[in-house]
Amino acid sequence: MLNNKKVPSMVKDQQLIKVRRAQMIKGAVKLFIEKGFHRTTTREIAKEAGFSIGTLYEYIGSKEDILYLVCDDIYMEVSKRLKKQLSENGTHLERLKQAITSYFHIIDDMSDEVLVMYQETKSLQKDALKYVLEKEKEMVEMMQNLIQQCIQSGELTMNEQESKLLAHNILVQGQMWTFRRWSIRKLFTLDEYISIQIKQLLYNHTSTI
């Protein structure tokens, strides 16, 4: 597992760093959605966050650091929420369905942040990009572990290659609710979308959908 990128700060108070960077992230997401990463200046981010450009540079080294913090914060929040929602009750297949449902709800709740992350990841520096891609891999593995439990219990029938692809597909279909929201949200409610996606994702691998 890769270590997270060290973002420089002149401030030593860890709690204050956490608060100020949370303000930056919130302001940056809003601006990145409106203007994109490259067209947004650090001065605009500082203003949106509620402090001066000088104060902003006490907590980061560059605009790229802010993009990294945005991506890291999103992955950490999605992972934390998903782990909290994972059920220990029911069959393995029921737990997988609950995990898919929870993941889709989390993506819906954080749709603006997720959209920014996937649109702007290409602008990350090489070391930061490696870390972000590692976090994506961890999310896939979390889903694949649940799928493997279903296979071992006989509730799903598929080989290892198919299980890996299914884990990726679950994440992609959750993200599509954000990427294609201009169209999909006119056709389905979130619960309808989740129900249909679960059927389509698992249909060929079980007789109990």
Of 38, 61, 84, which residue is a domain's last? 61
Evaluate if residue 206 carries a pLDDT over 80: no
53 & 110 share domain: no
Which pLDDT belongs to residue 1? Answer: 41
Structure tokens at 205: 């691998």
Residue 166 is assigned to a structural domain of this protein: yes
Could you tell me the CATH number of the domain that includes residue 175? 1.10.357.10
d(CA 206, CA 209): 7
d(CA 99, CA 96): 5
81 & 106 share domain: yes
> Per-residue pLDDT averaged across 6-32, rounded?
92
Could you tell me the CATH number of the domain that includes residue 50? 1.10.10.60
148 & 191 share domain: yes
| Number of residues that make up the chain | 209
Mean predicted lDDT score pLDDT of the chain: 89
For CA atoms 133, 46, 179, 192, give the dihedral sign: positive
Of 34, 61, 88, which residue is a domain's last? 61
124 & 197 share domain: yes
Residue 160 is assigned to a structural domain of this protein: yes
**Tens digits of residue pLDDT in 160-205:** 999 999 999 999 999 999 999 889 999 999 999 999 999 999 987 7
For CA atoms 184, 38, 130, 77, give the dihedral sign: negative
Evaluate if residue 37 carries a pLDDT over 80: yes
d(CA 33, CA 40): 10
Residue 208 is assigned to a structural domain of this protein: no
Task: Show the domain range for 80.
Answer: 64-202
For CA atoms 150, 151, 157, 158, give the dihedral sign: positive
86 & 186 share domain: yes
**Tens digits of residue pLDDT in 136-165:** 898 899 999 999 999 999 999 999 999 999
48 & 101 share domain: no
d(CA 56, CA 167): 39
123 & 168 share domain: yes
Evaluate if residue 2 carries a pLDDT over 50: no
194 & 123 share domain: yes
Which pLDDT belongs to residue 207? Answer: 56
Tally the domains of the chain.
2
Q: What is the pTM of this model?
A: 0.83
**Tens digits of residue pLDDT in 45-88:** 999 999 999 999 999 999 999 988 988 888 888 888 888 877 77
Q: In terms of DSSP H, where are the helices of the chain?
A: 14-35, 42-49, 53-56, 63-85, 92-109, 111-120, 126-152, 160-179, 181-187, 190-202
111 & 28 share domain: no
Residue 27 is assigned to a structural domain of this protein: yes
Which pLDDT belongs to residue 188? Answer: 96
Determine the straight-line distance between the first and last CA of the chain, rounded to whole angstroms.
35
Residue of 82, 53, 61 lying closest to 143 (CA atoms): 82
70 & 56 share domain: no
Which pLDDT belongs to residue 99? Answer: 92
